Amino acid sequence: MRITQGTFSFLPDLTDEQIKKQVQYCIDKGWAVNLEFTDDPHPRNTYWEMWGVPMFDTKDASAVMLEFRECRKVYGGRHYIRLSAFDASHGCESVKLSIIVDRPKNEPGFRLQRQESVGRNVSYTTHAYATDRTEGERYRN
Amino acid sequence: MADCEKNGAARSAIASEDVDLRAEFAATGLGSILEQLDRDLVGLAPVKQRIREIAALLLVDRVRKRMALSAEAPTLHMSFTGNPGTGKTTVALRMAELLHKLGYVRRGHLVSVTRDDLVGQYIGHTAPKTKEILKKAMGGVLFIDEAYYLHRQENERDYGQEAIEILLQVMENQREDLVVILAGYTARMETFFRSNPGFRSRVAHHIDFPDFSDDELFRIAEMMLAKQNYRLSSCAADALRAYITERMRQPLFANARSIRNALDRARLRQANRHMAADRMVTVADLMTIDAPDILASRVLRRNGSAGPATH
């Protein structure tokens, strides 16, 4: 099941050229671009691991692409990699754009768990099949 | 093969179409930069000549690229060598602007660094530091002043080597993203290139900055003063000419920088002269540097004697 989080996630994956253009758009707007990765696809997993610090003073998208390629070398194909742009003009960093730029080859999806409790109440839990395995091993074939 | 055919087709398609290089030149706005270069920089004829040559090459290359005649991004890394005060940094700034106008760097900013900004203090500190600077400079020009300090011959475990390796890699692999300009004094840069052959082969343009003649130095002095709304009285002009001739003969002469320092001291003396005179001063007085302000210099007082003079 394809994870759909952030911008453009219902479209086919962006090519590197398209990603670069998005990054340049963010930089031109004065936003800081950041790279994060995770192998826990749960939608409530908000804070992903950071790949270095956000790039505050880059002027050109090629610098971000350099880091992205480095990150993909390590985690590509077995983690989700997300690119997010922060706007600090409000006085606090707020996310303006977030794109999943790399994803595991196989995305097993989620199991819906129903828990029957008192009366006829049912509480639901989504459980990612990937998280049955330990961290770092989840998308390894 | 398919590529060949495509190129061939493109070539025949535009074969009939002539290109007006003059119009091409005008469209880039290069003329104004080169003119400004001529106007603002006194002397440096060989440097200006080289810059014109590079600009012409890049312009032609751009047209060729449009016609699908060349595909490779040209190597644009440069080395500026010359004595202190010959205008290396000033020209580097202009170069960034020029490359931007030609479309060879996307942003056209200049990031000026020295060894301190690239090399770390302990193991594992250098690579992130160098990369940070490289990322900052991407899309523009990275100017490394006194580049030879990166390489410490006497210490083979110096972290400078690590910075050099990262630099070389980026210079080779990301030619379209970043232009590196190495600058420094001629003799020491020569040693640096000899001990790092990788750099020499990756640097396409070696530009040597000649020393200024005394006439050029005088014109530089006049321009510096005009910029600060000062002018020389005619006796002061003669005194300054004498000063320049004398100063050039002395050790630790740093071309335009020495002249700037001399003028700063002349301004200081001028201010003191007016304070001591204890009378009303006119605007003309405040604008004029007079002969005594220059003649008081130690360079002229110790006429003929050896030894470095700093005042």
pLDDT at site B176? 85
Tell me whether residues B139 and A67 touch, CB distance under 8 A. Answer: no
pLDDT at site A42? 92
Mean pLDDT of B15-32: 76
Is B140 in the A-facing interface, judged by CB distances under 8 Å?
yes
**Matching CATH number, A16-107, of 3.30.190.10, 1.20.1050.10, 1.10.8.50, 3.40.50.880:** 3.30.190.10
pLDDT at site A74? 93
Spatial CB neighbours of B269, under 8 Å, sequence gap ≥ 6: B292, B293, B296
Is A59 in the B-facing interface, judged by CB distances under 8 Å?
yes
pLDDT-based confidence at residue A139 (cuts at 50, 70, 90): confident
Residue with tokens 């605007």: B283
**Looking at per-residue confidence, does B102 or A28 come out higher?**
A28
Tell me whether residues A58 and B135 touch, CB distance under 8 A. Answer: yes
For chains A and B, count residue pairs whose Cβ atoms are closer than 8 Å: 34
Is the pLDDT reported for residue B1 higher than 70? no
Interface test with A, best of B135, B136, B172, B176 (most A CBs within 10 A): B135
Tell me whether residues A55 and B140 touch, CB distance under 8 A. Answer: no
pLDDT-based confidence at residue A12 (cuts at 50, 70, 90): very high
The candidate with the shortest Cα–Cα distance to B73, out of B169, B178, B206, is: B178
Is B249 in the A-facing interface, judged by CB distances under 8 Å?
no
Phi-psi region of B45 (alpha: psi -120 to 50; beta: other; left: phi over 0): alpha
pLDDT at site B54? 86
pLDDT at site B93? 85
Q: B139 to chain A, minimum CA–CA distance in Å?
A: 5
Is the pLDDT reported for residue B40 higher than 50? yes
The candidate with the shortest Cα–Cα distance to B43, out of B274, B260, B210, is: B210
Q: What is the pLDDT of residues B235-266, one digit of tens each?
A: 999 999 999 998 888 888 888 889 999 999 99
**Looking at per-residue confidence, does A32 or B305 come out higher?**
A32
Mean pLDDT of B48-73: 84
> A103-107, B9-13, B34-38, B210-214: which has the minimum mean pLDDT?
B9-13
pLDDT at site A122? 95
Q: What is the pTM for the complete model shown?
A: 0.77
CA distance readout (Å), B56 to B50, B92, B96, B127: 10, 18, 16, 37
Is the pLDDT reported for residue B195 higher than 90? no
Report the residue of chain B nearest A27, measured CA to CA.
B107
Spatial CB neighbours of B150, under 8 Å, sequence gap ≥ 6: B115, B118, B119, B144, B160, B163, B164, B167, B192
Q: B107 to chain A, minimum CA–CA distance in Å?
A: 7
Instruction: Report the helix count and the strand count for chain B, using DSSP H and E.
Output: 16, 7
| Domain residue extents for chain A | 16-107
Tell me whether residues B139 and A57 touch, CB distance under 8 A. Answer: no
Q: What is the pLDDT of residues B139-178, one digit of tens each?
A: 999 999 999 998 887 877 888 889 999 999 999 888 888 9
pLDDT-based confidence at residue A141 (cuts at 50, 70, 90): low
Distance CA B180, CA B110 (A): 10
pLDDT-based confidence at residue B278 (cuts at 50, 70, 90): confident
Mean pLDDT across chain A, nearest whole number?
A: 92
Is the pLDDT reported for residue B303 higher than 60? no
Mean pLDDT across chain B, nearest whole number?
A: 84
Distance CA B48, CA A101 (A): 46
ipTM of the complex: 0.74
Report the residue of chain A nearest B133, measured CA to CA.
A58
Tell me whether residues B140 and A66 touch, CB distance under 8 A. Answer: no
Tell me whether residues B138 and A63 touch, CB distance under 8 A. Answer: yes
Is A58 in the B-facing interface, judged by CB distances under 8 Å?
yes
Is A57 in the B-facing interface, judged by CB distances under 8 Å?
yes
Spatial CB neighbours of B168, under 8 Å, sequence gap ≥ 6: B198, B199, B202
Is the pLDDT reported for residue B198 higher than 80? yes
In this structure, the strands spanning B205-209 and B110-113 are unpaired
Is the pLDDT reported for residue B302 higher than 80? no
Tell me whether residues A59 and B177 touch, CB distance under 8 A. Answer: no
pLDDT at site B129? 92
